[in-house]
Amino acid sequence: MGIRYIHTMVRVKDLDKSIAFYELLGLKERRRSENEKGRFTLVFLCPPEQDDGTADVELTYNWDGDEGLPSDSRHFGHLAYTVPDIYEMCQHLMDNGVTINRPPRDGNMAFVRSPDNVSIELLQQGDPKPPQEPWASMENTGHW
């Protein structure tokens, strides 16, 4: 199906300390995104030899804090993969008994969980697909 690994996301309590730690490991900041509306910062780090986005760690920092960290196990967020056709992939997963926790209502993003409860983000390769049923009106199930 053309699936491609893109990153692993971890939530962090102190962005500067976390960046310093990953830099000690030899990673470098590849890109950063500040989201005023969502009140969070995303920092993508990678090994210097892999600055093409194939081995990123995404640090997610919530501006208003995340007091449960690190004890509530929310520090590990999700694995993320791009897929050639998000609707086809979600249908394939549903046909095989996988619950779509966050349907691809926007034609771009969905979340599912592994049998071990690991959250997996699926992103449409390239531009989002036009919204279509049954996805456009499908409600969330559980959490991701």
Which H helix or E strand runs over 30? strand 28-35
Q: Give the chain's length.
A: 144
Say if CB 114 and CB 98 are below 8 A apart. Answer: no
Q: Which of 49, 58, 67, 121 is catalytic?
A: 121
Write the DSSP symbol of residue 122.
E
**CA–CA separation, 22 and 27 (whole Å):** 6
Q: Is 139 a catalytic residue?
A: no
Positions annotated as catalytic residues are: 121
